[in-house]
């Protein structure tokens, strides 16, 4: 039996008395997109932050290719993080131009020479539909443009695991569709993806499997057509998912 | 009043004619204070970054202590460094007492709390999202500190300018560690004190005008940075 690229086992996270995540067990294979749906406050962002090793779980483990990465020394966590990239729900830009922002991760990981970085950045800008933006001050861009720059900043790293927290939340339908195409282009390759979203349509389009997170627990996990088909047959739409009205 | 007026006129003449002694003292002051700030910045800015970014026991107390030391009396620092550098002191063998290098060390100690504390305050102003973004993109601790300092660069430069102003205008360390030796450790502040005590008001006023002028340029630069 082949080993999943990412395995999350019995993961719990509490802040003081508040239990945010309870006994989470999920896995993602290379080339697979796992959709993570659930209402606001269900713990999706916390789960992605834990997987990105930005926070330590209260208990449980995060494993990459069978090797435990949570609870390890910072040096090991940095090495593990360099195999991943995360796009935050509200991305922030460094006080610099777009090119510097996109190349930050490549520089931090000491990948490529400056000329190659620039070339890759241009390609990444092209793929997110923002060619010619390289000299723009990143902090003067609109929310949607920032979101696309954040995605470019992540995909330029060619991560083995891409964590996406509502990556199209601030985008118009056309831009969102372009982003979906980029993500589908990455799927099937070496990149495993977790896509946290409220948008069931997007989840259906992109995700191979779906995990439903409600109140910090995985309440359903399976193939997207099964899970989302059940929801649709029950007459549940995207706002209903966001509003806790999940009958599972 | 006439004496003061004559003093001002003479001072202007000394400055306009680039009087060698006045220019020498000014250049020495700037050099010593610049060296102290440069060396202190290399240590204190990353140190401020480490203190701000790391969580450890006693962090709050340490930050409060650093802030308390902003107003460290210059003569106290002068005395401390004097005891360290004097012949019978632990660093006496280095023979740094009454040298510009000794003055640089003294000024570094004097401005370190300001530079470290203001760096901590500057970095506090950078949201945690920037740190998370840098970390998630694979930055190690040094790269994260570098990125955050870059984000707060205007506030950090302000801290450096404030520290430079403090170093340039202090007299206790310069007098006690430098010894006010002519053409060697005599700087603007010690020279003003000496010339005034000798009744040479023209020279005092000339040096005073230069000191105020430099301070004004510093403050103008500071306002410009803080306005960004």
pLDDT value for B98: 96
Determine which of A131-145, B2-16, B115-129 has the lowest per-residue pLDDT on average. B2-16
Please state the rounded mean pLDDT for residues A237-244. Answer: 44
CB distance A47 to A36 below 8 Å: yes
pLDDT of residue A201: 83
Chain A with chain B: Cβ pairs closer than 8 A: 52
CA-to-CA distance for B29 and B215, rounded, in angstroms?
Answer: 12
Question: Measuring CA to CA, how many Å separate A113 from each of A116, A119, A243?
Answer: 5, 10, 48
In the prediction, which pLDDT does A231 show? 67
Question: Distance (Å, rounded) from C-alpha B151 to C-alpha B134?
Answer: 11
Q: Which of chain B's residues have a Cβ under 8 Å away from the Cβ of A165?
A: none
Q: Which of B136, B140, B147 sits opposite A94 (nearest CB)?
A: B147
- Asked if A56 is an interface residue toward chain B (Cβ–Cβ < 8 A), one would say no
Residue B11: the pLDDT is 81
Contacts of A52 in chain B (CB under 8 A): 136
Cβ of B136 within 8 Å of Cβ of A78? The answer is no
| Confidence label for A247 from pLDDT (cuts 50, 70 and 90) | very low
Overall average pLDDT of the A144-152 stretch: 92
Strands A59-64 and A67-68: antiparallel
Quickly state the pLDDT bin for B138 (edges 50, 70, 90): very high
Pairing mode of beta strands A217-223, A209-214:
antiparallel
CA torsion B164-B167-B169-B172 (nearest 10°) is 170
Q: What is the ipTM of this complex?
A: 0.90
> Cβ–Cβ of A54/B151 closer than 8 Å?
no
Per-residue model confidence as pLDDT tens digits over B166-204 = 999 999 999 999 999 999 999 999 999 999 999 888 889
State the pLDDT at residue B12: 87
Band (pLDDT 50/70/90 cuts) for residue A246 is: very low
**Chain B environment of A96 (Cβ under 8 Å):** 150
What is the least distance, in Å, from the CA of B135 to any CA of chain A?
A: 7
* Long-range contacts, stretch A219-227, CB < 8 angstroms, 24+ apart: A219/A246, A219/A248, A220/A246, A220/A248, A221/A26, A224/A35
B136/A84 CB distance under 8 A: yes
Q: Which residue among A91, A95, A108 sits closest to B151, beta carbon to beta carbon?
A: A95
Residue A245 banded pLDDT, cuts 50, 70, 90: very low
Span of A32-36, A110-114, B9-13, B208-212 with lowest mean pLDDT: B9-13
Asked if the Cβ–Cβ distance from B137 to A84 is below 8 Å, we say no
Rounded CA-CA distance B182/B204 in Å is 15
**pLDDT above 90: percentage of residues in chain B:** 78
What is the reported pLDDT for B227?
Answer: 65
pLDDT at A215 over 70: yes
From chain B, which residues contact A within 8 Å (Cβ)? Answer: 127, 129-130, 132-141, 143, 147, 150-151, 153
For residue A59, what is the enclosing H or E element? strand A59-64
Using CB atoms, pick whichever of B130, B138, B150 lies closest to residue A78.
B138
Question: Other CB atoms closer than 10 Å to residue A150's CB: what's the count?
Answer: 27
Task: Write out pLDDT tens, residues A185-214.
Answer: 887 788 999 999 888 888 888 999 999 999
> Does the pLDDT at position A145 exceed 80?
yes
Higher pLDDT, A235 or A15: A15
Report helix, strand or coil for B198. coil
The verdict on a CB contact (< 8 Å) between B136 and A108 is: no
| For residue A239, pLDDT beyond 60 | no
Q: Do B137 and A105 touch (CB under 8 A)?
A: yes
Residue B123 has pLDDT above 80, yes or no: yes
Q: Does A84 touch chain B (CB under 8 A)?
A: yes
């Amino acid at each position: 039996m082949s080993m999943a690229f990412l395995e999350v086992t019995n993961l719990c996270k509490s802040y003081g008395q508040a239990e945010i995540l309870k006994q989470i067990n999920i896995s993602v294979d290379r080339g697979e997109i796992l959709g993570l749906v659930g209402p606001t406050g269900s713990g999706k962002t916390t789960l992605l932050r834990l997987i990105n090793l930005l926070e330590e779980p209260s208990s449980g483990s995060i494993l990459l290719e069978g090797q435990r990465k949570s609870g390890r020394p910072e040096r090991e966590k940095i090495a593990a993080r360099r195999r991943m990239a995360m796009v935050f729900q509200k991305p922030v830009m460094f006080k610099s131009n777009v090119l510097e922002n996109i190349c930050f991760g490549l520089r931090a990981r000491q990948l490529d020479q400056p000329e190659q970085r620039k070339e890759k950045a241009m390609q990444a800008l092209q793929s997110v539909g923002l060619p010619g933006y390289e000299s723009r001050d990143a902090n003067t861009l609109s929310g949607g443009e920032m979101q696309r720059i954040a995605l470019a900043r992540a995909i330029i790293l060619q991560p083995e695991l891409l964590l996406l927290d509502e990556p199209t939340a601030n985008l118009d339908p056309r831009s969102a569709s372009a982003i979906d195409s980029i993500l589908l282009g990455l799927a099937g390759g070496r990149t495993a993806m977790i896509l946290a979203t409220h948008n069931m349509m997007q989840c259906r389009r992109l995700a191979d499997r779906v995990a439903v997170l409600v109140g910090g627990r995985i309440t359903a996990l399976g193939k997207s057509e099964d899970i989302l088909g059940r929801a649709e047959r029950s007459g549940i739409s995207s706002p209903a998912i966001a509003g806790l009205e999940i009958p599972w | 009043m006439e004496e003061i007026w004559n003093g001002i006129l003479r001072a202007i003449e000394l400055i306009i004619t680039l009087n060698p002694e006045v220019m020498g003292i000014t250049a020495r002051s700037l050099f010593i204070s610049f060296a102290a700030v440069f060396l202190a910045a290399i240590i204190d800015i990353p140190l401020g970054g480490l203190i701000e970014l790391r969580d450890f026991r006693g962090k709050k107390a340490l930050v409060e202590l650093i802030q308390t030391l902003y107003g460290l009396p210059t003569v106290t620092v002068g005395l401390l460094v004097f005891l360290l550098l004097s012949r019978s002191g632990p660093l006496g063998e280095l023979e740094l007492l009454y040298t510009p290098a000794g003055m640089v060390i003294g000024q570094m100690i004097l401005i370190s709390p300001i530079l470290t504390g203001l760096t901590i305050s500057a970095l506090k102003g950078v949201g945690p999202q920037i740190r998370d973004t840098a970390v998630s993109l694979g930055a190690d601790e040094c790269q994260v500190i570098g990125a955050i300092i870059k984000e707060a660069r205007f506030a950090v430069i302000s801290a450096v300018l404030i520290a430079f102003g403090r170093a340039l205008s202090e007299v206790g360390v310069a007098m006690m560690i430098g010894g006010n030796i002519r053409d060697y450790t005599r700087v603007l502040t010690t020279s003003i004190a000496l010339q005034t005590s000798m009744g040479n008001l023209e020279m005092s006023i000339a040096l005073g005008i230069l000191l105020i002028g430099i301070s004004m340029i510093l403050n103008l630069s500071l306002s410009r940075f803080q306005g960004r």
